[in-house]
């Protein structure tokens, strides 16, 4: 990812009049093969097969793909824009805009620069800007919040007049406006299944609602990040352990090239309990898939600017199995919104609790179930114990009960990788 020209801290506020929306959502599409075992990826693209910690004979169960929380939240369109060294030096900007879009993400067919020249992708007011100094081919720039992005080629001198050198933009991803996204959600809900990942009432609340009553819960939501994958797909992830390690679902992505097309947003939250006011996120990029498992539906990966996000802290995987009735909570980015926490449950009569300590996932007896509310985009969220604040499960399925892979199985599988 590019260097941030101006990097606001997690507390910097971007004004927003949007209140908290209560959406009754189903779990959505995703096409997954339920086969194979974990693989450790020691290099950028090298893969080493392991048995996934589940033994050689694993019963793989049929899974309703509609339970998975994936859906497109934007569209990618072809464009044909370029800023080359053959152009007049005054013609150094390109504007990409879609009225009402929630974000713009620029894709470079190629970016070929000389010496000290560079390209920036910025918001019109310059409040959000990313600088690219190294050449790249077939790669995404970091997204810009809002409906307009300005691409600018900065040349210090006319060293060449080659049309090959410069920036060629071949496509852009535009985030759906809120009303369009709501319509997509409603349509998916109507077509896919009557069950919801929101179980009866939506009891999730923005993180600030618990700042005074449960400060430890809010603190343990800090390592939880929003993922934007391939410009239009949402998931959640979280830092785990002291090293440069992030954990999400295998069904979100599973290969290093996919990780490198993923943005990781830390510090993206609301400033008030009513959901108004958003903090400006710190955006970094995925770097490398370290390990992944289809059976346990996890992907362990690293980010490319670890120093920028290390201060958000990390979570620990519990090696103690969850117990029925244990109080839990799930910090998440449902529908890509700022951090919300599912800690209350009208189904459970108050608190979110473990329903089944042993529940079927992709394989028999791999999961923990609960009625804590989740939505699409919540895939990859940590399920934490209220008592220990350790991760007891990795959320991946809706269905009411919803479920996550038992953290102890993942911890055993990863061994010394975290």
Q: Above 50 in pLDDT, residue 379? A: yes
For the chain, the domains span 3-71+196-417, 75-175
- Asked if 75 and 258 count as a contact pair (C-beta separation under 8 A), the reply is no
- Asked if 403 and 397 count as a contact pair (C-beta separation under 8 A), the reply is yes
pLDDT the model gives residue 42? 37
Vertex 259: Cα angle to 67 and 261 (nearest 5):
100
Beta strands per DSSP E along 56-100 = 74-84, 93-97
Residue of higher predicted confidence among 15 and 103: 103
- Asked if 49 and 37 count as a contact pair (C-beta separation under 8 A), the reply is yes
The C-alpha atoms of residue 182 and residue 191 are separated, in whole angstroms, by 14
Q: Percent of the chain at pLDDT above 90? A: 64
pLDDT the model gives residue 29? 29
The C-alpha atoms of residue 341 and residue 337 are separated, in whole angstroms, by 11
Q: Which residue has the tokens 């958000």?
A: 312
Q: Percent of the chain at pLDDT above 70? A: 80
Q: Which residue has the tokens 């010394």?
A: 416
Span 162-176, pLDDT tens digits: 888 899 999 999 999
Reported confidence tier of residue 212, pLDDT bands at 50, 70, 90: very high
- 328: Cα within 13 Å, side-chain hemisphere: 33
State the average pLDDT over residues 38-53. 41
Report how far Cα 126 is from the mean position of its chain's Cα atoms: 25
Q: Above 60 in pLDDT, residue 203? A: yes
State the average pLDDT over residues 167-194. 76
Q: Above 60 in pLDDT, residue 296? A: yes
- Asked if 378 and 340 count as a contact pair (C-beta separation under 8 A), the reply is no
Q: Above 60 in pLDDT, residue 193? A: no
Q: Above 70 in pLDDT, residue 94? A: yes
State the average pLDDT over residues 186-195. 52
> Which CATH number is associated with domain 75-175?
2.60.120
pLDDT the model gives residue 64? 61
Span 342-377, pLDDT tens digits: 999 988 888 999 999 999 999 999 999 999 999 888
Helix (H) or strand (E) holding 257: helix 256-259
pLDDT the model gives residue 90? 77
pLDDT the model gives residue 198? 85
Report how far Cα 331 is from the mean position of its chain's Cα atoms: 13
pLDDT the model gives residue 180? 85
Average pLDDT, the chain: 84
Quote the pTM value.
Answer: 0.82
State the average pLDDT over residues 28-44. 33
pLDDT the model gives residue 58? 63
Q: Above 60 in pLDDT, residue 195? A: no
Candidate from 115-129, 133-147, 151-165, 251-265 with smallest mean pLDDT: 151-165
pLDDT the model gives residue 181? 79
Reported confidence tier of residue 43, pLDDT bands at 50, 70, 90: very low
Reported confidence tier of residue 88, pLDDT bands at 50, 70, 90: confident
3-71+196-417: CATH architecture: Beta Barrel (2.40)
State the average pLDDT over residues 178-201. 67
């Amino acid at each position: 990812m590019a260097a941030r020209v101006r990097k606001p801290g997690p507390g910097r506020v971007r004004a927003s009049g949007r209140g908290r929306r209560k959406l009754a959502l189903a779990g959505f599409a995703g096409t997954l093969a339920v086969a194979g075992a974990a693989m450790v990826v020691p290099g950028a693209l090298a893969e080493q097969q392991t048995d996934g910690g589940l033994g050689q004979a694993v019963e793989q169960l049929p899974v309703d793909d509609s339970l998975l929380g994936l859906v497109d939240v934007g569209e990618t369109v072809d464009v044909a824009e370029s800023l080359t060294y053959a152009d007049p030096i005054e013609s150094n900007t390109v504007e990409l805009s879609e009225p009402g879009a929630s974000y713009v993400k620029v894709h470079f067919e190629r970016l070929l620069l000389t010496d000290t020249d560079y390209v920036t992708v910025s918001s019109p007011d310059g409040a959000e800007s990313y600088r690219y100094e190294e050449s790249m081919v077939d790669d995404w720039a970091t997204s810009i919040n809002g409906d307009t992005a300005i691409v600018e080629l900065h040349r210090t001198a006319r060293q060449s007049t080659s049309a090959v050198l410069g920036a060629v933009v071949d496509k852009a991803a535009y985030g759906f406006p809120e009303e369009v996204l709501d319509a997509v959600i409603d349509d998916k809900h109507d077509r896919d299944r009557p069950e919801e990942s929101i179980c009866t009432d939506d009891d999730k609340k923005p993180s600030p609602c618990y700042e005074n009553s449960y400060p430890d819960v809010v603190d343990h939501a800090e390592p939880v990040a929003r993922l934007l994958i391939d410009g239009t797909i949402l998931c959640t992830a979280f830092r785990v352990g002291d090293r440069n390690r992030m954990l999400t679902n295998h069904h979100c992505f599973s290969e290093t090239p996919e990780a490198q097309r993923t943005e990781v947003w830390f510090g993206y939250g609301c400033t008030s309990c009513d959901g108004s006011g958003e903090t400006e996120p710190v955006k970094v990029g995925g770097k490398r898939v370290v390990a992944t498992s289809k059976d346990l539906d996890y992907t362990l990966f690293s980010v490319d600017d670890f120093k920028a996000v290390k201060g958000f802290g990390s979570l620990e995987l519990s090696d103690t199995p969850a117990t029925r009735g244990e109080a839990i909570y799930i910090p998440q980015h449902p529908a890509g919104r700022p951090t919300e926490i599912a800690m209350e449950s009208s189904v459970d009569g108050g608190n979110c609790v473990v329903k089944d300590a042993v529940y079927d996932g992709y394989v028999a007896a791999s999961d923990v179930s609960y009625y804590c509310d989740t939505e699409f985009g919540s895939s990859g969220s940590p399920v934490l114990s209220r008592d220990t604040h350790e991760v007891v499960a990795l959320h991946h399925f809706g269905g009411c009960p919803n479920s996550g892979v038992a953290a102890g199985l993942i911890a055993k599988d990863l061994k010394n990788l975290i």
